[in-house]
Structures are given as C-alpha cells and as structure tokens.
Amino acid sequence: MFSSASNFVHGVDTAFLFIIGVSVFFLILLTTIMIVFVVKYNRKRHPHATQIKDSSALEITWTTIPLILVLLMFYFGWKGFLPMRQVPADAMNIKAYGKMWKWTFEYPGKKVSDTLLLPLNKAVKVDLISTDVIHGFSIPGFRVKEDVVPGKNNYTWFIPSKLGDYDLFCSAYCGLSHSYMFALVRVVPENEFNTWVASLPVRKADDNNEGYKLLEKNGCFACHSVNGTKGVGPSFKGLYGSEREVVTNGANRKLKVDDLYIKTSVYEPATDVVVGFPQGVMKSYKGTIKEKDIPKIIEYFKSLKAE
Amino acid sequence: MNNTEHVSFLEHQGKHKGILAWILSTDHKRIAFLYMYAIAAFFLVGAILGLLMRFELIAPGETIMKPQTYNGIFTVHGIIMIFMVVIPGLSAVFGNFFLPILIGAKDVSFPKLNLFSWYLFMFGSALAVASQFLKSGPPDTGWTFYAPYSTTTGTSVIIATTAAFILGFSSILTGLNFIVTVHRLRAPGMKFFNMPLFPWSLYATAWIQLLATPVVGITLLMLIAERLFGIGFFNPDLGGDPVLFQHLFWIYSHPAVYIMILPAMGVITEIIPTFCQKKVYGYKAIALSSLAIAGVGFLVWGHHMYTSGMSEQARWFFSLLTFIVAVPSAIKVFNWISTMYKGSIDMKPAFLFALAFIFLFMIGGLTGLILGSVATDIQVHDTSFIVAHFHYIIFGGMGFAFFAGLHYWFPKMYGRMYNFKRANFSVIALFVGFNLLYFPQFIIGVQGMPRRYFDYFPRFQWAQILSTIGGVILFIGLIVMIYNLVKAARSGEKAPANPWNGSTLEWQLPSPPSIENFDEDPVVKENPYDYN
C-alpha cells in the first residue's frame, strides 16, 4: 500500500491496516477455537456434553472489547476522511464533466481536455458536474471517490504527489457503456503542465447556437456525433431531410427525417429505431427537453448538412 | 402421542384434491412448501443468470453477450435474488413451518392472510418475470433503481418496480401475521423468554418488515409517478434531488439486510445446540441482540451513501452508528462458539453448513467494518469489494443458513432422510466454490475494479478467472445438493420423529407433523431447550 500517490493515501491506508489487522486476528482466533472445539469435543471422543451456565461477566466482556475496537476503527476511518473535505483556499480549480459515457475536464480559461493532466505537488479542487445521470469520479490510486450528481455541486480535492499515470473510473452505474467511461490521469511536473494547458483547445464555437446548447446540456453528443462518425446512435450530420430505414413494431420501413420524426425520436426513442442500432438504449427526454425547444434543435440539425 | 392414528399434513385430505389441496390450503406448513418450491425455482433462475455473468467476465471485452444484455442480467439477477429469494426466504419457508410449532400453536394468527401473502408474492414475482420479456427490454438500472437513470431509461422499469411494490406488501403482511402470532398464540404459560431463539429472530424480523417495507413501497410509487407524469421528485431541473431517492431507498433496503440475516442467525442458533447436545449459551444475550440489531439497523442506511455528497456530519453520524450495530452480531458469534465448548459434537451435514455459515458470516461481517469506516469505504465503495462483501453476508450468511436449515429440518418436513455422503460432498463443494468465487473480488476491489462493469482492464483478469472457476464449483455443489434432497423427498428412508436428538418442541411431534400440529396444548417448560 503506502504508494503516497496523493496526500490521502497515508490516512486511508492506516485505517485499512488497523481494521484488517484486527479483523484477521479475530477471524483466525475464532476459527481456530471453532476447529479445536469441533475436534476435541467430537462425539467419538466426548460422548456426553457438559452443560455450562451463562455468565454475565463473560457477556459484558465480549460486548465491551468489540465496542472499544470498533470505536477505534471509527476514529481511524474518520481521521483518514476528514482532510478530504478541507480544501485549501489556493487550490487550482478543474471542472470534471461526466456525461454518458465520457469524461471532459475543463481547465481555467475554458480549456478542455479528455485527459486529466495534473501538476505535481499542487492542490487541485475538482468540481463534479453531471448533465444527465449520476456518475462516480473515482481515482483508486489517489484514494478519492465522489459521486457526480446532477444538480448537486459535489467536489473532491487532492495533492498528486508522485509522477505517473493513474486510472479514473466511473464508479456509479450509468447505463450501456458504464464500463467504458474511464479516463487517463497523468501527473507531470508543473512547468510541463503549464505548457500543456496553454496548448489545449478552447470550448467549441457552436456554443452560441441554441440547439447546440440544448443537445450539449442533455449529453446527446455522447452517442450522436456531428461529423458523420457512427457512435452508439446515428450521427446528426446530414440527418435532417435524409431517408432512413427504421424498425417500427418489429417491421422495417423507410421514412424521411422530418420534424415529426425528430420529435418522436426525442420523446419515444423506441418507436422508430434506425436499422443497425440497438433498441431500448436511448432514454426518453419527455419532461427534460421541452416541446418549445424542439424547433431549436431542428434548426441546428438543418445546419449540419451532408457534404 | 399415538402414532398409529397419526395423519401427516402431507397426507391429510381436506375439501380439495390434487393441486387445489395445496394452493387453497391455509395450513402454515403447506404454505411453507408453496413458498419453498417457488423460491427454489427463482433461486435457480437467479443462479443461472449469475453464472452467465461469470462466463461473460472470464475475459476482458465481449465474451458471450452484449453490454445491454449484461446490464439487464445483473439487474434481473439482483431483483430475483433480493426481492424474490432472500427477503421472503427464511421467514416464509422455515418461519411459516416452524414458528407456530416452536411456540406450541396450531397455525399462525391469520391463516387466510398467510395464503393471500403467498398469492401476492406469486403475482409480484410473475410481474417481475414478465418485465424481462416486454418489448422495451429488461430493466437495466441495477436492483437499486437509482434515479435519475431509472426515471429516464427506455427499459421496462415501471413493471419491475410495480413487482417490487407488490412483493413488499406480501412481506408486510407476513410480518404482521408473525407479530400477532408471537403475541397471541404462544402456548398457555409460555412467556417471551420461554420461546426458542428462532421465533425471537422472526419476531425482530417481522417488526422490520412491517415498519420499513412501506417506505420502499412509497419510494417505488414516487419513481413510477416520476416516469409517468414527470413530477420531479428526483429531477434537479424541476427542483428535485436525485440523492433523495437514495435516502428513501436505503431507509428500507438497509433494514432489509437484517430481514434476510436475522432469521438466518435464528436458524443457526437452533442448529448448533442440537448437534452439540448443549443448551444454547447466552440465551438472553442472543435474544436481546436480535432486537438491538433490528432497532439500530433502522439508523444506519447512510453508510450506502458516503460518496453521494452528504454533509460531513451525516457521514460521521452514520459511520458511528454502523460500527455500533456490528457489536450485537459479534455477540452472537461468541455465543455460538461458546455453545460448542464441552459439547458432544456430531458432525452431521446441517452442522457442517452451520460451521460454514459462521466462517463466511465472520468474513462478511469483518469486511463490513471496512465499509463502515468512512475513509476506507470511499476507496472500496461501488467496487467488486462491495459485491464480495454482500455475497458473503447474503449468500454465505442467509444462503448457507437456508441450506443448513433445510438439512436440519428436512426429516421433520418430509418425514424422510437424505444421503449424508452426498450432503457432505455438497457442503464442501459449496464452501470451496463460494470462497473461490467471491474472495478474489475483495482483492481487485481494493485495487479499484468498479462493480457493474461489462468490461475491465486486463490486470484484473486473474481474479475474474478464479471467480468463474469458483462459480462452476459452486453450481455443481448446488446441483448435487438439490438432487440429493429431491431424491430423498421421493424415496428417502423414513425418518424418525427426532433424528438429531433435538430438544425443542418440533422434535416432540411425529415427522411430518399433523395438520394442526398439536392434539392438545404442549406443557410449557421454563427452558425452551428442555423438551427431550
């Protein structure tokens, strides 16, 4: 253990060692006693049982000792955890966006990246933002994990204290590609970090399009690309006005993508599923995307013409 | 009792014949059998789904199924095993059969309600099974139905939650029935502290069923309303809070763990004294610790949510209470082991299952301490460590206790005896397979392997291979056990009334007992372990 990849490793692993130590001791002790009794008092060797009277003293002893031990465990667990909620005032802010099924990290100056690059020995506060369902921000090497809950301003922080690569997993189940929602965490010296951040692209220009913002906010781009690449769902590029073969009630039919089709696909995605894509994967956005916003999305789609 | 006139409940001829004599019977023993056969069938389905997951996970990447199928299978495995197998499990089968007998009653207080509970159970189960075959596909939320995923996914969540809602009512009514039975139907002169310890554990369980289950009922209704009408309880865009769902869900689902494990502890508490020929050590401590677990167990649900963004105060409060609820469980283990001291131990299959239970339950309980402590829980929360932990408690605990109870009471329930050699083989296969299946998951869990993962990094594969091999061994053990018991039920040797020289009331009755158990009220003894 004690790899000291972050400032929390020591506290967490101390709690681990104490609890595991006590547990292994009792597991071995009690199992040994059980085996000794089973052998020693086997009916062949010990045909008649001797009845033993209950003893309050014994009951009190084996209530008190475990109680003291578990309170100690509580103490170590709490001591290892508390620093995780005490963010230093000078910590650098990074926003982590969790979307089905992709992490995006935003550095100061609206610079975005798919990799979580971190400067060595600098405190980093990560704001956890979800735009769809609950995700989990977990970096086992750092001993940190906090759920990314829509509508809640959850956060975590740490000081990366060892150069190297680490894994970031999505720990809270979030649907189809939950197990593919991971990212690379790389800890580098501070000067290297600064150069890298400076080279990052700024958030996309489509930012000002109302339809784009709605799709972005609802995490649509996790499955539907805007450049023609096939994702979990069909690409939005050249979608509007094109002809598609879809499965309706188990039968194939052809249709032209119009306003009605787009509205149906947003609210009842299982009704007409484009051939070659799985059914029941997309959720309904009824109540999430308002009816008055649908035309904005359609306008945006019209701008994504096929070349 | 005069055995020549004895007609067992299995042979008894009532108003109805054939299958109707079973599905219209209000006899608590026949209802216990109805539950047992249904639960055994569901358990097998759940186990096969579990095995399919193990084969999928034997190698990284897609092995035998697509991710959507995998997500559906772990959800269905969870729903079947939790709501249809382990929650009703011990109470509905052994509780129904032996609670009235152990307190000297002819039946439960409300026999018709008891049968109605079984129908609710079957109706709920049928809906749960149906949700798998609907056009929109099996639910893919996990058995926890966390919002907002569950309020937005396109799969059959409404049917599945309705099923869980109905199954909940079956549980509430069984709890109510048992509470009234314990209060009103004890044999004349039997005080609470003259009851054996299995009824004590059922009594504590019944209170949890009655008080906690309505909470999950309401929660599931809120979820359905959210999906149908977009009300916004759990939707932050409409002012709701997704974490609210987790609170409401765990207010029930944590106590539900005690609904599963308390009767298991009760069964073990009956088995150990019998095969040691000892009076149970620490009767009062065990009885009161059941009540303590049931009581404090209501106040620890937050330990499922240390990473949800709860306030620091809530995190330490729930952590402290979680550690306190560990103590009564420890007390039980100490008393069980002390009961063996200077006993005359007969290593029959039921006792071997009980020993396996104690060992597995200790591992499950001790790893629970890692989850109670906030710092360490954050490392292993939502990893395969959790999966290993709750399988140790639920399968290693409740499951092995069920098998122990089955081998203990089988001769009483069927009036026939099973083959000991085959039974011993199944104990060993189940024990070895179980540990090989779940123990490696602790290790990769600490290393960070998240749960509910269809695919994983190659560095975790060694454990997944061991687990799959363990799963196969475990399954072989199950098949041998079931074969052995089915064969015994059909053509086993006739069992005597008291094959283990047991000292509680049920062993004073013929095997199997008659339709109303007692011809006359039993004479109550001060110590419930004194009837031989």
Residue A284 has pLDDT above 90, yes or no: no
Please tell me which residue of chain A has the smallest CA distance to B241.
A151
CA distances from A22 to A69, B366, B413, B522 (A): 8, 9, 42, 47
User: What is the per-residue pLDDT for A289?
Assistant: 85
The yes/no answer on whether domain B22-236+243-508 falls in CATH 3.30.930.10 is no
Residue B8 has pLDDT above 70, yes or no: yes
Handedness of CA B404, B408, B410, B413 (dihedral sign): negative
Whether the bond into B462 is cis, omega within 30 of 0 = no
Mean residue pLDDT of chain B comes to: 93
Domain positions in chain B are 22-236+243-508
Please tell me which residue of chain B has the smallest CA distance to A84.
B375
Instruction: Name chain B contacts of A48, Cβ cutoff 8 Å.
Output: 277, 344
Residue B5 has pLDDT above 80, yes or no: no
Residue A22's nearest CA partner among A90, A59, A78, A76 is A76
Residues 6+ apart with CB under 8 A from A13: A1, A2, A143
Among the candidates A198, A218, A233, a domain finishes at A198
What are φ and ψ of residue A279, in 5° steps? Answer: -90, 150
Residues 6+ apart with CB under 8 A from B115: B24, B25, B26, B31
Angle among Cα A141, A142, A148 to the nearest 5 degrees reads: 105
CATH code of residue A112: 2.60.40.420
Angle among Cα B441, B443, B448 to the nearest 5 degrees reads: 90
Residue, of A3 and A20, whose pLDDT is higher: A20
CATH code of residue A267: 1.10.760.10
Residue A3 lies in a domain: no
Q: Is A109 helix (H, G, I), strand (E, B) or coil?
A: coil
CB–CB of A54 and B282 under 8 A?
yes
Q: Is B17 helix (H, G, I), strand (E, B) or coil?
A: coil
Note the Cα B27 to chain centre separation in Å: 23
Of A59, A175, A287, the CB nearest to B282: A59
Between CA A53 and CA B503 the distance in angstroms is 17
Instruction: Encode pLDDT of A31-61 as tens digits.
Output: 999 999 999 999 999 999 898 888 999 999 9
Structural domain of A150: 92-198
Among the candidates A150, A168, A198, a domain finishes at A198
Q: Is A23 helix (H, G, I), strand (E, B) or coil?
A: helix
User: What is the per-residue pLDDT for A23?
Assistant: 96
Residue A2 lies in a domain: no
Count of domains observed in chain A = 3
What are φ and ψ of residue A43, in 5° steps? Answer: -55, -30
Q: What residue type is B437 in one-letter code?
A: L
Instruction: Encode pLDDT of B311-321 as tens digits.
Output: 999 999 999 99
Containing B292, the helix (H) or strand (E) segment is: helix B283-296
Q: Is residue A52 domain-shared with residue A99, that is, in the same domain? A: no
Q: What does the pLDDT average to over B201-228? A: 93
Of A66, A76, A134, the CB nearest to B146: A134
Instruction: Encode pLDDT of A83-108 as tens digits.
Output: 999 999 999 999 999 988 889 999 98
Is-contact A256 A241, C-beta < 8 A? Answer: yes
User: What is the per-residue pLDDT for A218?
Assistant: 79
CB-based contact (8 Å) between A59 and chain B? Answer: yes
Q: What does the pLDDT average to over A71-75? A: 96
Q: What does the pLDDT average to over B83-97? A: 95
| A204 band by pLDDT with thresholds 50, 70 and 90 | low
The three state secondary structure string of B167-228 is HHHHHHHHHHHHHHHHHHCCCCCCCHHHCCHHHHHHHHHHHHHHHHHHHHHHHHHHHHHHHH
Instruction: Encode pLDDT of B477-489 as tens digits.
Output: 999 999 999 999 9
Between CA B99 and CA B200 the distance in angstroms is 9
Among the candidates A31, A63, A85, a domain finishes at A85
Interface probe for B, chosen from A33, A35, A36, A37 (most Cβ of B below 10 Å), is A37
Binding-face residues of A in 232-261 toward B, CB within 8 A:
none
Please tell me which residue of chain A has the smallest CA distance to B74.
A173
| A205 band by pLDDT with thresholds 50, 70 and 90 | low
Residue A286 lies in a domain: yes
Residue A4 lies in a domain: no
Q: Is residue A184 domain-shared with residue A219, that is, in the same domain? A: no
Q: Is residue A65 domain-shared with residue A131, that is, in the same domain? A: no
Sheet of A272-274, strands arranged across: A251-256, A243-248, A272-274
* Cα distance from N-terminal residue to C-terminal residue, chain B: 14
CB–CB of A133 and B383 under 8 A?
no
| Burial annotation A40-62 (CB, 10 A radius, 16+ → b, else e) | ebebeebeebeeeeeeeeebeeb
Instruction: Name chain A contacts of B283, Cβ cutoff 8 Å.
Output: 54
Residue A1 has pLDDT above 60, yes or no: no
For this complex, say whether ipTM is above 0.95. no
Residue B304 has pLDDT above 80, yes or no: yes
Residue A207 has pLDDT above 70, yes or no: no
User: What is the per-residue pLDDT for A3?
Assistant: 62
